[in-house]
Chain A
Amino acid sequence: MSEPHIETPQELDDANAKPVDRPAQTGAAKPSPDKKGDVLLEMENVTLRFGGVVALNDVSFALRKGEIFGLIGPNGAGKTTCFNAMTGVYRPTSGAIRFKGESIVGKKKHEITRGGIARTFQNVRLFPEMTALENVMVGADAHHKTSVLSALFRLPRFWKEEHEGRDKSLELLRFVGIEHRAGEVSRNLSYGEQRRLEIARALATDPTLLCLDEPAAGFNPAEKAELLELIRKIRDTGVTVLLIEHDMRLVMGVTDRIVVLEFGKKIAEGTPAEVRDDPKVIAAYLGVPTDAA
């Protein structure tokens, strides 16, 4: 984890004032898009069926390093399913998912996590009886090697990794802004704090790709603005962010590129501006059948 980047007040103002225009500027302002633009995760013709229901139908898209990528669509469009396929919860019926050029289909969930994909959940899934700090430390443990024996006998590795994990976790809690709640049992945290804690826990696994599943659900505008800021901060540390979101404004305001799903099919892909004007997307969000548009 690199040193968290602290945004300047000016950047903050920008974000709050003109969220819609932001992505274009950011994209243009980034100094070396080529280097950052390598493909990180690739979905290739992914289809996923549950019994007779087709949850994902021949979906293909690619995430590039360093971008904030939006995955949107109406309810039941298959966004979370798509997510789950990437993180190993579901296995695609057909198609390939490659991360850093390597197929991750059929890999165990914890292997995928260790490979560099971390996620949060649509409805917060913290470990409620554990403290905030412990929650994050579980994430940090993903890369630790302390064995049962070294924990049992308190061998040097245990102390080293325990210190390291604790420092890192505290730092992450500071990064997401809930450091003062570190010792609190996580179920006692406020909803917003829980969402942030989930992000910190995911970041603790040192991801290259962070997948956020509707992180702004249930947030008020002020909280959403804070979240936007946080997401950018995360991206600025070098982590690629995949964002599933309902709130169009939020998505449009922060993402570099967007894929739109409907009924398990990809119906549009492009920059926020392109997508926003796509008639299919408009139809999908207004509930008009696509062929009528």
Chain B
Amino acid sequence: MDFSGLIQDFGPLTITGLAQGAIIALFALGYTLVYGVLRLINFAHSEVFLLGSYACLVVWGFFGLDQNSATPSVIAVIGFLLLGLVAAIVVSGLTALGVELVAYRPLRRRNAPPLAFLITAIGASLFISETVGVITQRNIKAVPPLIRPADVFVIGNMHVTNLQILIIVLALVMMFVLDRFINRSRLGRGIRAVAQNPDSAALMGVNKSRVIALVFLLGGLMAGIAAVMYDLKIGVTRFDAGFLLGIEAFTAAVLGGIGNLRGALLGGLLLGVLQNYAAGLFGTQWLHAASFVLLVLILLVRPTGLLGESLGRARA
């Protein structure tokens, strides 16, 4: 255990952890949204993220950008970023919808038991990630240096870079927008209605299938954004990138209280930061173990996560 190291690096570990946590949080939203409405662990959500992380690379590759390109001008960077985001969002959103249509909807029609959903989700996840694995020959795909990290401000030994700020701010903004959407808009009301009581929502004229599709789409959009941020931060993607980060995102969702949007944000940020602290304290090899230990401990105290589960599920 390296306490002095942790204290010395507390600032930097916090900021890098927050950046990672923000990505995890955006990713976790998809799990939470689907769970909130369908009470289903959408195992295939990790592949929604995965395809997003490839989509932006394909678009950038189309413009001749690769890991060895020089960083373009600011205007071009903004353009590329937007293009990449759009591509990732579209692909992730469509993937999420596709998974819902191919893997889940037929089961719902047949009134299948909950376990069956979990298993088709696993099947879909395997299918997508392994297909990507075969196509890419399980090689990594590297990301062009669109944003060259530069310090924006420095506090002590904590260097806060432009990329970190972009990731954290974007995550918070998206979270805010989504929260607003769910709580204020008409469509959002539909989502909450279905989440609270699917049957009576249907009676009140809410189209359940539409709402479910919408929820998958929203989760996909967020995963798409998370995927672009991930690419920029980590620098490569790989066929199993979704699976690895997906476990963390799912952990974060449960940690915060699955089905609860703010819980996902809290869980993601907390997980990102605490993983870094644990890595500082015990060594990087214990990073993932720490997140699970944390999860178990929190669930022992609060069996439904930190903020409890609710997607508009009002508790009396």
Contact = CB atoms under 8 A, between A and B. Distances in A.
A and B touch in the complex (CB under 8 A): yes
A50 B316 CA distance: 8
Interface residues of A, number: 3
Contacts of A50: 316
Q: Is the interface of A mostly helix, strand, loop or mixed?
A: strand
Interface in B276-316: 316
A87 to B, nearest CB: 22
B111 to A, nearest CB: 13
A53 B315 CA distance: 12
A269 B316 CA distance: 31
Interface of A: 50-51, 53
Nearest to A53: B316
Contacts, number: 3
A99 B243 CA distance: 55
B116 to A, nearest CB: 15
Contacts of A53: 316
Interface string B194-222: 00000000000000000000000000000
Interface of B: 316
A53 B316 CA distance: 9
A172 to B, nearest CB: 30
3 contacts: A50-B316, A51-B316, A53-B316
Nearest to B113: A129
Contacts of B316: 50-51, 53
A290 to B, nearest CB: 25
B113 to A, nearest CB: 10
B46 to A, nearest CB: 32
B114 to A, nearest CB: 14
Contacts of A51: 316
Nearest to A129: B113
A255 B316 CA distance: 35
B77 to A, nearest CB: 52
Nearest to A52: B316
B303 to A, nearest CB: 17
B47 to A, nearest CB: 33
A8 B311 CA distance: 58
B228 to A, nearest CB: 43
A51 B315 CA distance: 10
Nearest to A50: B316
A51 B316 CA distance: 8
Shortest beta-carbon contacts, A-B, top 3: A51-B316, A53-B316, A50-B316
A6 B250 CA distance: 60
A239 B265 CA distance: 56
Nearest to B315: A51
A283 B219 CA distance: 53
Nearest to A51: B316
A169 B316 CA distance: 41
A50 B144 CA distance: 57
A99 to B, nearest CB: 29
A178 B316 CA distance: 41
A81 to B, nearest CB: 13
A51 B314 CA distance: 13
B159 to A, nearest CB: 48
B315 to A, nearest CB: 8
A128 B316 CA distance: 30
A48 to B, nearest CB: 14
A115 B136 CA distance: 65
A19 to B, nearest CB: 36
A75 B224 CA distance: 49
